[in-house]
């Protein structure tokens, strides 16, 4: 009887492990400041995650820059070249800010314009908890910014980027004085 119970418990454990260990897809972002690994939440934010991965798989982010850095707030990238030329993007996606994920330190969210469903390729990494960016209502003003991932390695790199000096360039504020290059972004395959 004891042997049967042990076998059943072992079987139950083997069935439970994949559920416990499941994680969304991850990407490795190599910058000239170091490496950042990001895990996407393709369950809570399937549209934003799939959109981001389409850009990753196409090599779109390779050679782009973090063009907006605001200490105590966030770092933003994914839409401009080293010369601050805007890249051509896909069509905007629907805003998933109602997914329950919060703009906490280390989370990745879609950048957008004042229009709710305007996010394309640009994203930002929250440097602090930014609850004012979370969904509050279905109005344009309070709709929020869709979180779709989190930094799992390299938050020290994010913090280093946050400390760069910034200035105005090409009509944009908060642009790093020393270019912060996203050299490559690639999917991380499980070992």
Buried b (16+ CB within 10 A) or exposed e, 115-142: ebeebbbbbbbbbeebeebbbeeeeeee
pLDDT value for 26: 98
**Residue 11 resides in a domain:** no
**Would residue 120 count as lying in a domain?**
yes
The DSSP result for 135-160, as a single string, is ---SSTTTS---EEEEEEE-HHHHHH
Contact 166, 177 (CB under 8 A): yes
Residue 66 domain flag? yes
Of 72, 67, 36, the residue nearest 149 (C-alpha): 36
State residue 96 phi and psi, 5-degree precision. -100, 25
Domain presence at residue 8: no
Per-residue pLDDT, 74: 98
What are the residue ranges of helices labelled H in 74-184? Answer: 155-162
Residue 47 located in a structural domain: yes
pLDDT value of residue 7: 58
Euclidean distance between CA atoms 102 and 158, whole angstroms: 18
Closest-CA residue to 108 (of 157, 62, 145, 60): 145
Note down pLDDT in tens along the chain; length 191 residues. Answer: 566 666 555 555 454 444 334 489 999 999 999 999 999 999 999 999 999 999 999 999 999 999 999 999 999 999 999 999 999 999 999 999 999 999 999 999 999 999 999 999 999 999 999 999 999 999 999 999 999 999 999 999 999 999 999 999 999 999 999 999 999 999 998 76
**CATH number assigned to the domain comprising residue 153:** 2.40.100.10
Q: What is the pLDDT of residue 23?
A: 80
Question: Which pLDDT score is estimated for 3?
Answer: 62
Q: What's the rounded Cα separation, in Å, for the pair 180 and 82?
A: 8
Asked whether residue 60 is domain-assigned, the answer is yes
In a domain, 13, yes or no: no
Q: Which residue range is the domain that position 84 belongs to?
A: 23-188
The pTM of the full predicted model, rounded to 2 decimals, is: 0.88
Neighbours of 50 (CB within 10 A): 14
Q: For residue range 132-183, list pLDDT tens digits in order.
A: 999 999 999 999 999 999 999 999 999 999 999 999 999 999 999 999 999 9
Task: Provide the number of structural domains found in the chain.
Answer: 1
Query: pLDDT value at position 12?
Result: 54
């Amino acid at each position: 009887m004891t042997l049967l119970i042990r076998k059943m418990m072992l079987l139950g454990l083997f069935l439970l492990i994949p559920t416990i260990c499941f994680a969304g897809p991850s990407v490795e972002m190599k910058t000239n400041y170091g490496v950042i690994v990001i895990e996407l939440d393709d369950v809570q934010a399937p549209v934003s995650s799939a959109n981001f991965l389409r850009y990753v798989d196409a090599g779109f982010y390779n050679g782009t820059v973090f063009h907006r850095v605001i200490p105590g707030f966030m770092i933003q990238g994914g839409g401009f070249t080293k010369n601050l030329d805007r890249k051509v993007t896909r069509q905007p996606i629907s805003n998933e800010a109602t997914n329950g994920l919060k703009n906490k330190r280390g989370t990745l969210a879609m950048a957008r314009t004042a229009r709710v469903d305007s996010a394309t390729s640009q994203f930002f990494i929250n440097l602090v908890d930014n609850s004012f960016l979370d969904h509050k209502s279905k109005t344009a003003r309070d709709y929020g910014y869709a979180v779709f991932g989190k930094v799992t390695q390299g938050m020290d790199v994010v913090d280093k980027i946050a400390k760069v000096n910034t200035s105005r360039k090409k009509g944009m504020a908060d642009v790093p004085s020393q270019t912060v290059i996203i050299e490559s972004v690639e999917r991380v395959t499980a070992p």
